[in-house]
Amino acid sequence: MTQSVRVQNFGVSRDGIGAGEDQTFEQPFGHVDPMELLGWGFATASFPSHEPGVGTRGFEDRLTRDFDHGIGAEIMGRHKFGHQRGPWTDDGWIGWWGEEPPFHTPVVVLTHYEREPLVVGETTFHFMNASPAEALARAKELAGGKDVRIGGGVTTVREFLDADLIDELHVSIAPVEYGHGLRLWERPEELEDRFHLEKVMAPSGVEHCFLWRR
Amino acid sequence: MTQSVRVQNFGVSRDGIGAGEDQTFEQPFGHVDPMELLGWGFATASFPSHEPGVGTRGFEDRLTRDFDHGIGAEIMGRHKFGHQRGPWTDDGWIGWWGEEPPFHTPVVVLTHYEREPLVVGETTFHFMNASPAEALARAKELAGGKDVRIGGGVTTVREFLDADLIDELHVSIAPVEYGHGLRLWERPEELEDRFHLEKVMAPSGVEHCFLWRR
């Protein structure tokens, strides 16, 4: 069975910024407002944690609906999991998402500081000090034959792109520019040597890029 | 748990024609060429029966990928199941799809001629002489808490629209006109009194309409 490695619903600005460098507990995306980048997803009915009847069911809902479809595991960078730096302390942190994270699968967290797995709701976080290829091999085992999502942040997606381990990406481009921050790309066309690129403009004003391996 | 009633990946021409009136065994869509209406789906990697590695993984692949996502049962008209008319004969017909139909769920087939259920691969066809509301009640039971897809053809979708039983529709509009045939609508805007309407143009030249209940 083929297991694809997918980036899903990853949001950047027109100048390719996905987050600020200056993450804190109060500002998980630093100077970048995540609602500017990902408000299109929040507006849809399938966004995690929405009550029934809340949200739109148009084109962009198909994208949020697809977030976990066929996904058996996620890989994320440590900063997507938390704002801490250095060795882990006993601070009770369980990730940004509260008691029921939206993943519902095993999640591999890349960190220089390994620790025991952490179970939160239906999600188990596995902490690995590993190369992208090693982390992916582990995530594929954990995924039970399903696909693996590279969940971000920007640095993690870049590492997996640089290691040529990604099969397809969906990246939304919000009509905003930041000038500085953590940059996925200058322009999506940079990846056209390795990926097909398709761009679709949503009525929301967000442009959705779909890339898949040539 | 909310069970939505959805039309998924239903294809019509610019003038709203989804099939010809003149169905035969040789031409399931009559004078209409289904590849003109649905070729956009066939081109994608998630189209049923494609081998791994075949097909695109862009915007329209998200739509074919969504075909059975969260769906627990389908309702179809008799002519989507076969070309026969009148009482069933013992002709060995198992539907158009061969030994492994792409539904993998219970399917309610609307017919004036009831008969015993037919199991083909992972799909069980239930033959009901029933109103749309009765058929939907049965399909919801069969769907195990998941959504119900109204699979077509045109006449069946129209009946469920007229009975106001549909929650959301995705309809693709191919850049072709037929002038006559089985018509879903003159224009999708006809439904705007009851549904939100969003239109997105795909790079393929097909326009995708998303409608959901107001």
Task: Return the SS3 of A119.
Answer: strand
Considering the domain boundaries, does residue B147 fall inside one? yes
The tens place of each residue's pLDDT in chain B, 214 residues long, gives 589 999 999 999 999 999 999 899 899 999 999 999 999 999 999 998 888 889 999 999 999 999 999 999 999 999 999 999 999 998 999 999 999 999 999 999 999 999 999 999 999 999 999 999 999 999 999 999 999 999 999 999 999 999 999 999 999 999 999 999 999 999 999 999 999 999 999 999 999 999 999 9
Predicted pLDDT of residue B1: 59
pLDDT digits (tens, 9 = 90+) for B103-122: 999 999 999 999 999 999 99
CATH, residue A201: 3.40.430.10
CB contact under 8 A, A210 and B57: yes
Considering the domain boundaries, does residue B113 fall inside one? no
Residue that is written with structure tokens 């990926």 in the block: A195
pLDDT digits (tens, 9 = 90+) for A33-60: 999 999 999 999 999 888 888 999 999 9
For B176, residues 6+ apart whose C-beta sits below 8 A from its C-beta are B13, B14, B36, B37
Predicted pLDDT of residue B48: 87
Mean pLDDT computed over A100-119: 96
pLDDT digits (tens, 9 = 90+) for A63-98: 999 999 999 999 999 999 999 999 999 899 999 999
CB contact under 8 A, A203 and B203: no
Q: Which residue of A has its CA nearest to B63?
A: A62
Predicted pLDDT of residue A49: 83
- Residue B180's nearest CA partner among B30, B66, B37, B9 is B30
Residue A1 has pLDDT above 70, yes or no: no
Percent of chain A whose pLDDT exceeds 90: 93
Mean pLDDT computed over A101-108: 96
Number of domains in chain A: 1
Of B63, B196, B199, the CB nearest to A62: B63
Considering the domain boundaries, does residue B43 fall inside one? yes
Mean pLDDT computed over A187-193: 98
Global ipTM: 0.90
- Residue B192's nearest CA partner among B164, B212, B208 is B212
Residue B178 distance to chain A (closest CA, Å): 27
Predicted pLDDT of residue A51: 87
Burial zone of A178 (CB within 10 Å; 0-12 exposed, 13-18 middle, 19+ buried): buried
CB contact under 8 A, B2 and A52: yes
Predicted pLDDT of residue B51: 87
Predicted pLDDT of residue A168: 97
Q: Between A and B, how many CB-CB pairs are < 8 A?
A: 72
Predicted pLDDT of residue B154: 97
Considering the domain boundaries, does residue B101 fall inside one? no
| C-alpha B39, offset from chain centre | 15
Residue A179, number of CB atoms within 10 A of its CB? 8
Predicted pLDDT of residue B166: 98
Which residues in chain A are closer than 8 Å to B66, comparing Cβ atoms? 62, 65-66, 69
Residue A196, number of CB atoms within 10 A of its CB? 15
Q: Would you place residue A2 in the very low, low, confident or very high pLDDT band (cuts 50, 70, 90)?
A: confident
Residue that is written with structure tokens 């460098």 in the block: A21
pLDDT digits (tens, 9 = 90+) for A135-153: 999 999 999 999 999 999 9
Residue A155 has pLDDT above 80, yes or no: yes
List phi, psi (to 5°) of B154: -55, -45
- DSSP for residue A35: H
Considering the domain boundaries, does residue B99 fall inside one? no
Residue B155 distance to chain A (closest CA, Å): 24
Residue A187 has pLDDT above 90, yes or no: yes
Buried b (16+ CB within 10 A) or exposed e, A3-21: bbbbbbbbbbbebbbbbbe
Q: Which range marks the domain in which residue B43 is found? A: 5-47+54-75+131-213
